[in-house]
Structure 1
């Protein structure tokens, strides 16, 4: 039965001999690899006197922070205002200045329920202001009934 899948042994005897030789080398390579794996150095072996970490030690290692905690409102901490004014009629004015040289954030709440925030200007560099050029306008929330 001569076909492409099953060549006769007489036609391709050189190829068959080469295939047998390659199989022997591969099996020998596997045996050599297994022998190398079994001959591990002594420090890689786990012995009874070198037990791993206990559960509390593992939990202590896993609960360490990755980096230093940052200060501010990121961690739900209450940021203290640099200026705080509270009037008897319920008006509250709070100023937050985060860095020197930056414009502050100002939050105003009236006793009647209105509140507004003064936003930071886009450019805080000193400049000559023209008449009518107002870039810090408060946003006012009016009481809703």
Structure 2
């Protein structure tokens, strides 16, 4: 099984409603996103997927989040379990990325999405699936 990962960044604000601490106030991060794609074989050029293709897809997803207040965007409105935490952001990006990657090549899948809200703190979302 091959893995290929890329990273991108975007800036956005958020707050964690009902949180007991400073993160309950609106604050910003330069979020770093890492997406990993998995596949069983390389193409005729010896690549799993072109880095540029994966970067383009990921940038199209994060472009909608860039310089936004994440609490005001549909997937995160309402607080509680939908709050724009690093965990929920990782899942949201994973779910947006998954159909794009599958459509490119049927044997590719998203392995994981990791979201850093600081250099020392990150969250990962991945789906556990049997390898074929």
As a proportion of its length, which structure holds more helix?
Answer: 2
Kindly indicate whether structure 1 or structure 2 has the higher relative contact order, using CA contacts under 8 Å at least 6 residues apart. 2
Determine which structure has the larger strand proportion and give its number: 2
For the aligned pair, the TM-score class normalised by the smaller chain equals under 0.3
Calculate the TM-score normalised by the size of structure 2: 0.21
With structure 1 as the length reference, what TM-score do the two structures score?
0.19
